[in-house]
Homo-oligomer: A and B are copies of this chain.
């Protein structure tokens, strides 16, 4: 006998009982929008405007150059780094916020190769988020002895790790499928052959508890503008386990990585510690917006976020599964809780047009080529009733073929 699907009344009860319910009020959420794209760009925390005002009107305009010291600008990379570090199981002094994820991947791969002289293979997933691959190609092409090996889904990444592997670059949550990897297991597997592991946390940080040190991770990178809500293009982060700090070498050895940046020495002497993974002067206004976003995480428990995230995505999959079956769509995200992150992906031949039709109704997810609709479930500001309404709209659009409208077929630069 088919189980009865949850009703609007059922989800109202879930919202009523939700311990994270008050957090929704900490964000600006435009009227008439159900925002299922926090896995791409988080919404604005309400406190960010005051933070930006403080940074621009007071620290910059009034403090001028003095704010590099007086407002702590020069160490924002470290203070924000430690606050991100708390969310990913890093010890203080193991994480800095700086540059972009792409650039931090470059640093991490070079640092890993330097830690494993005599090995040259960078192993990555063929279905990785593209910039990881493009950056790895850049390292392989420019560094003597380095090469890139790609694992397809059918190969399985773990099976290709061998004693030629210098470094394994792997996404914690797959940006397309939403699959969550077992961090401890894959790290142990790499370490067994002497390889270094670089974890890309872009699609997991802020969405679930991460414990890099418990898993004995070597290096990690990630962005702050998705589940952390740091603002468009907010600076990224990079983590290195303390045991590697004295051996960190990377070619982006800008003045912020120098032992004494303001001694203006003509020769390079690396800083001790994690500052070796910085490079140059950071965008302070964007860093200050991130501060407001991280303040929100001071008041929540990531374990509680994870529980609600799984409940939201589980509810969505339960509601849309029969719809998908009827209308030629397929959920590609695992139903097994331990195997998925915080977004759900659905393949449909006309996925692009279906997503445009959803957006036209105020339900914002996103689309990833060639045919994947993504729906992000972000426990800080989404309600169970939002999930219910999104599933209902998807059903209606597929059932009535509302997606089959020329205005939904026009592709924009960024989808």
Contact = CB atoms under 8 A, between A and B. Distances in A.
Contacts of A279: 100, 102-103
Nearest to A59: B232
Contact of A252 (B138, B261, B287): B138
A139 B103 contact: no
A281 interface: yes
A233 B264 CA distance: 19
Copies of this chain: 2
Contacts of A369: 262-264
B231 A138 contact: no
A138 B137 CA distance: 19
A328 interface: no
Given A102-B280, A223-B281, A254-B103, A413 B66 contact: no
Contacts of A235: 283
A278 B69 CA distance: 30
A130 B65 contact: no
A252 B414 contact: no
Interface in A23-41: 28, 30, 33, 35, 37, 40-41
Interface string A220-263: 00010100000111111000000000000011111111100111
B264 A130 contact: yes
Contact of A135 (B49, B142, B254, B282): B254
A170 interface: no
A144 interface: yes
B258 A69 contact: no
Nearest to A257: B134
A43 B67 CA distance: 12
B266 A150 contact: yes
Interface in A55-86: 56-57, 59-62, 64-69, 73-75
A265 interface: yes
Contact of A74 (B126, B254, B413): B413
A234 B235 CA distance: 12
Contacts of A286: 283-286
Contacts of A44: 56-57, 60-61
Nearest to A76: B233
Given A52-B56, A57-B49, A138-B253, A103 B99 contact: yes
Interface residues of A, number: 96
Nearest to A41: B65
A48 interface: yes
Contacts of A193: none
A127 interface: yes
Contacts of A150: 266
A130 B266 contact: yes
Contact of A64 (B35, B134, B284): B35
Nearest to A60: B44
A139 B68 CA distance: 29
Contacts of A223: 281
17 contacts: A28-B61, A30-B62, A40-B65, A49-B53, A52-B52, A75-B413, A99-B99, A99-B103, A100-B279, A102-B255, A103-B279, A130-B265, A135-B254, A233-B287, A262-B369, A263-B369, A264-B368
Interface of A: 28, 30, 33, 35, 37, 40-41, 43-44, 48-49, 52-53, 56-57, 59-62, 64-69, 73-75, 99-103, 106, 110, 126-128, 130-131, 133-135, 137-139, 141-144, 150, 176, 223, 225, 231-236, 250-258, 261-268, 279-287, 289, 359, 364, 366, 368-369, 412-415
Given A99-B100, A232-B284, A283-B285, 16 more contacts: A48-B56, A60-B231, A65-B364, A67-B232, A69-B412, A69-B413, A103-B252, A103-B279, A130-B258, A138-B251, A150-B266, A231-B284, A231-B285, A232-B283, A233-B282, A284-B286
